[in-house]
Structure 1
Amino acid sequence: MSPSLDSYRAEFPVLEKQLYFNHAGVSPTSLRAAAAVREWMDDVVQYGVKHERQWEAHTEHTRKLAARLINAAPEEIAFVRNTSHGLGLVAEGLDWRPGDEVAVATSLEYPSNVYPWLHLKDRGVEVREIAATEGGVTPEAVAAALTPRTRLVAVSSVQYASGYQTDLEAVGTLCERAGVLLCVDGIQSVGCVPVDVKRCKIHFLSADSHKWMLGISGAGFLYVAREVLPRLRPVLVGWRSTTDAWNFHRAHFELRSDALKLEEGSQAYTGVYALSAALELLLEVGAERIAARIRELLTLLDGELKALGWDTGPAPEHRAGILTFLPGAEDPRALYVWLSERNVSLSLRRGRLRVSPHFYNRPEELERLVRMARDFKKS
């Protein structure tokens, strides 16, 4: 039998100090991820480079875990520092032509999925706006934004501020029919809900691990579909980008054909070890089980907040791991500050309070949040 979800709470000591509902912002990491970092640190302190081959083997193990989580192949995974890094590698590495267009909802998206595309203006690439609908991107809005010059659609799997989940399968089918590349900012979905890059026909997906993956900042991965790897030119190259990477005695510049060509130099092993432990934890619990628990928690919270007469969103059919709300006639910022002072961790995004629990949160923790919010309303 699988361990109970409650049994994982011991991995997260932060729960002893806070009501933690801020996984769409920055997650607490686990004791096992911290132990993995210490394992590598202790090794290099005690033995220097002696076990470098083991570090490399652990890196490839981590690559396989990342691929498994999103239904990709290991050779389609490159390690990146963060989501912005991965999206930037895509934006700067494609063979753009003057007059090409990128379709993106600049009014909704987190800046990481806007600025890399705007930065292409001096290469003659134009950004075409995808119209926002109820705080999200719909397949219909994507279809309306496409023109014969569209080369790429850039979209978040889940919008960071509203919590609206994009129907990536429908958007992927649309892009395939139009011959358009699909690039996804996956940081608000990977680790929260099942992600299948093949079923959704995604060409690129970038995600950092410090949110739903329960890793640490500065460690993430970029997925590049095998069929588009030849079209993506590395922005930076180094010894690791090449086919004879470990032969330092000659210059043999032949780029790798897989996603590892995007990794130019030495690995950030602390991040890799933390990411490995975080991914093992997620896979151990199971993506479907994680999603079901989060859905249960948000359904409970949604009902309780509506009972107070407060506005909530997104609707269940568009929800992943985020529920936002407005506290009636109360000032959202004042409630946010009041809750923060009482050790409740959540976020304020675009004037709405954002709640994002994970699988180890309990229903009674959400009920406690509602009681506290009710107390604020009375005060």
Structure 2
Amino acid sequence: MNTKEIRSLFPITEAFIYLNSASQAPLNTLVNDKLQTLIKSELNFIDKKGFNRDDVRLPLSKILGGSPDEYALTTSTGVGLGMVAQGIDFKKGDNVVIPEKEHWNNTFPWLNLESKGVEVRFAKLNKDNSLDSKAIEKLIDNKTRVVAVAAVRFNSGFRPNLSKISKIAHANNALFVVDAAQGAGMVPIDVEKDQIDVMSGCGFKWLLGMHGTGFLYVSKRVVKTISPILPGMFAAPAIHDQLSYHTDSRKFETGTIAYSLFSAWSAGLQLILNIGVENIYEKALQNTDLIIADLQAKGYEIVTPIEEREGRTAIVHFKTSAFETTKVLFEKLKENKILLTLQGENIRISPNFFTTEEEISSFLALI
């Protein structure tokens, strides 16, 4: 597909410069068309509508690695991480290691365990907001049960080295858990190559779905060590008066989900497969090369770590010398139909594969 064809799938690009994919993906016509067809079919309800969960599990496995039966369908990143945190048999005195200032979806489920006597240890970030794996390693001991990190940090756009951290976790017999919300669909992730034990993510950001869609990956290596806490009708074979869980990640599935949203989401996942995550990531670096160079030239403070290219993503945070002027700039951009996010004290820019160099130039001209 060429740029014109790709952009035609995202109607928002006709009226706005959309630099806000880290917040949520703009609805594309492929997903919308499929959703509208499904909704219309409900007007003439003759029989139960079928939904094959593998229509989502299969493309997820092609994008992120692993096999379809290692994916359970959930409604959000937080739901998946919460189920895992409660499903591990923690003992009093155990600990969990996570970086400081993670997204709440990757802090609240672990902090909730403190009432059970589980300690949460926070690894310090470097001064440039990057994360050194050594900061995690020095907090681990023989009581560490879980090391949990975000594939891409929401408040800086930094991409930690998942393979390196997984080796540290596994060398100490800890589970390696990844929050994929800001990474899946934007940066290359391979759950097998990176030796990820558990990964939870959402559909409404870089995976081109809508709110209410998500997934939980649990590797076959560790699936027996985590118990389901919300078993519904899809967690086990349909046998009356007997609960015998599926032996794969399906055991974490609950009851009925929003089938129309998930079925429509499969069209967005297929679009990602057609374009290729490697190509999407390369476009992300090309976009942010332009943005970073201009921000540096104009003297803005760049909050995102930019020294190591392998740690960069499609997300760039920057700010002015004062929060008030940062807010004024944000409002100015919004008035000029440039959509991004005021995240904390920073402006967060997150272009995607449909963003053109001309759009980035227009944004930069206004700052």
| TM tier relative to shorter chain | over 0.9
- Is 1:21 the counterpart of 2:11 in the alignment? no
TM, length-normalised to structure 1: 0.92
- Is 1:146 the counterpart of 2:146 in the alignment? no
Q: CA deviation at 1:45?
A: 2.5
Quick check: 2:151–2:179 contact (8 Å CA) kept in 1? yes
1:137-216 equivalence runs, <5 A: 137-216=131-210
Amino acid at match of 1:369: F
Structure 1 unaligned spans of 5+: 374-379
Quick check: 2:55–2:263 contact (8 Å CA) kept in 1? no
What residue number does 2:273 align with?
283
Residues of 1 paired with 2:54 and 2:310: CA distance? 37
Q: Once the two structures are superposed, what CA deviation does each residue of 1:119-162 show, in whole Å capped at 9, x if it has no partner?
A: 01121111011111222322111111112211101111111011
Q: CA deviation at 1:50?
A: 4.0
Describe the SS at the equivalent of 2:355. Answer: coil
Quick check: 1:136–1:159 contact (8 Å CA) kept in 2? no
What residue number does 1:114 align with?
107
- Give the alignment's Cα RMSD to 1 decimal: 1.5
Q: CA deviation at 1:27?
A: 1.6
What residue number does 1:377 align with?
none
Q: CA deviation at 1:341?
A: 2.2
Quick check: 2:287–2:314 contact (8 Å CA) kept in 1? no
Describe the SS at the equivalent of 1:183. Answer: strand
Describe the SS at the equivalent of 1:223. Answer: strand
Describe the SS at the equivalent of 2:115. Answer: helix
- Is 1:263 the counterpart of 2:257 in the alignment? no
Describe the SS at the equivalent of 1:227. Answer: coil
Residues of 1 paired with 2:217 and 2:130: CA distance? 23
Residues of 2 paired with 1:101 and 1:51: CA distance? 45
What residue number does 2:41 align with?
43
Residues of 1 paired with 2:46 and 2:359: CA distance? 45
Amino acid at match of 1:188: Q
Query: How many correspondences in the alignment?
Result: 362
Of 223, 226, 230, the match for 1:229? 223
Q: CA deviation at 1:366?
A: 0.7
What residue number does 1:30 align with?
28
Amino acid at match of 2:305: P
Q: CA deviation at 1:311?
A: 2.3
TM, length-normalised to structure 2: 0.95
Describe the SS at the equivalent of 1:148. Answer: coil
Higher helix share: 1
Q: Once the two structures are superposed, what CA deviation does each residue of 1:181-239 show, in whole Å capped at 9, x if it has no partner?
A: 11111111101111101111111111111111111011011100111111111111122
Q: CA deviation at 1:328?
A: 5.0
Q: Once the two structures are superposed, what CA deviation does each residue of 1:243-300 show, in whole Å capped at 9, x if it has no partner?
A: 2x2x6xx323211111111112123202211221110010010011111111101101
Q: CA deviation at 1:169?
A: 1.0
What residue number does 1:132 align with?
125
Residues of 2 paired with 1:298 and 1:239: CA distance? 45
